[in-house]
């Protein structure tokens, strides 16, 4: 019996060979250059052009909220400007200026045929075309607007442009040649209105956002 066993030999066990071969496979897998991180997350490519978009929410709902904010700011600025001009024309025009802070700040109603702060009175039609162009450009930018600060800035620009454009269309001496109503008169400075203030504030905000590298679509440019 012992001689038969020595001749036949011990049979191979596939399970044992499988277990022994499995260890190198696992070791090889762990050392593979294509191995996946334990958490299964991919950080994604790192941009080399100095731009980052990882935190930008570009969902349609976000864009709608930004557009709504833009138009809310624009409507508020427009109504404040329109209401103040109607009040000034009704109560202050052709009257003595009202002193607010002595000679430093007065309310003095004038008609301005030029641009903001009384500049360029000989180019009324040109400034009307520029105001209309600004409104069209803002409307086009709104289609890719995802930045909250940009929505506020563009809303101020839009409201101010609409306020002065309304004067140029509906006030004397004629359509597209109308004179804008100005009434805020600081000492040693040009007379202006709330629409001019909204335009200047919106422009300053846009300059600051540009210096910070923030685009209307939310992209941030890093130096």
Total Cβ atoms within 10 A of residue 38:
6
pTM above 0.75, yes or no: no
Comparing CA positions, the residue from 220, 204, 184 lying closest to residue 85 is: 184
* Cβ contact 209:149 at 8 Å: yes
Residue 121's pLDDT is 59
Give the pLDDT of residue 16. Answer: 43
Q: Residue 89's pLDDT is what?
A: 95
Give, for all 223 residues of the chain, the pLDDT tens digit. Answer: 444 444 445 544 444 444 444 444 444 444 444 444 444 444 444 444 555 555 778 899 999 999 999 999 999 999 999 999 999 999 999 999 999 998 899 999 999 886 655 555 556 777 788 888 999 999 999 989 999 999 999 999 999 999 999 999 999 888 888 899 999 999 999 899 999 999 999 999 999 999 999 999 999 987 6
What is the structure's pLDDT at 53? 55
Point out which residues pair with 110 in neighbouring strands: 182
- 183 touches 108 (CB < 8 A): yes
Residues acting as catalytic residues: 182, 196
- What pLDDT does residue 157 have? 96
């Amino acid at each position: 019996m012992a001689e038969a066993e020595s001749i036949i030999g011990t049979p191979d066990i596939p399970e044992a060979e499988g277990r022994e071969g499995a260890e190198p496979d696992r070791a090889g897998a762990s050392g593979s250059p294509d191995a996946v991180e334990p958490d299964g997350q991919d950080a994604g490519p790192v941009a080399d052009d100095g731009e980052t978009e990882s935190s930008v929410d570009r969902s349609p709902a976000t864009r709608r909220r930004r557009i709504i904010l833009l138009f809310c700011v624009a409507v508020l600025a427009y109504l404040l400007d329109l209401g103040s001009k109607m009040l000034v024309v009704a109560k202050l025009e052709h009257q003595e200026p009202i002193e607010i802070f002595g000679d430093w700040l007065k309310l003095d109603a004038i008609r301005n045929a030029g641009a903001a702060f009384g500049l360029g009175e000989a180019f009324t039609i040109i400034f009307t075309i520029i105001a209309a162009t600004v409104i069209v450009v803002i409307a086009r930018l709104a289609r890719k607007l995802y930045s909250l600060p940009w929505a506020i800035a563009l809303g101020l620009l839009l409201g101010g442009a609409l306020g002065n454009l309304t004067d140029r269309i509906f006030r004397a001496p004629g359509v597209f040649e109308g004179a804008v109503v100005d009434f805020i008169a600081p000492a040693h400075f040009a007379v202006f209105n709330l629409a001019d203030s909204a335009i200047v504030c919106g422009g300053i905000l846009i300059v600051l956002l540009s210096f910070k590298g923030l685009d209307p679509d939310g992209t941030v440019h890093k130096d």
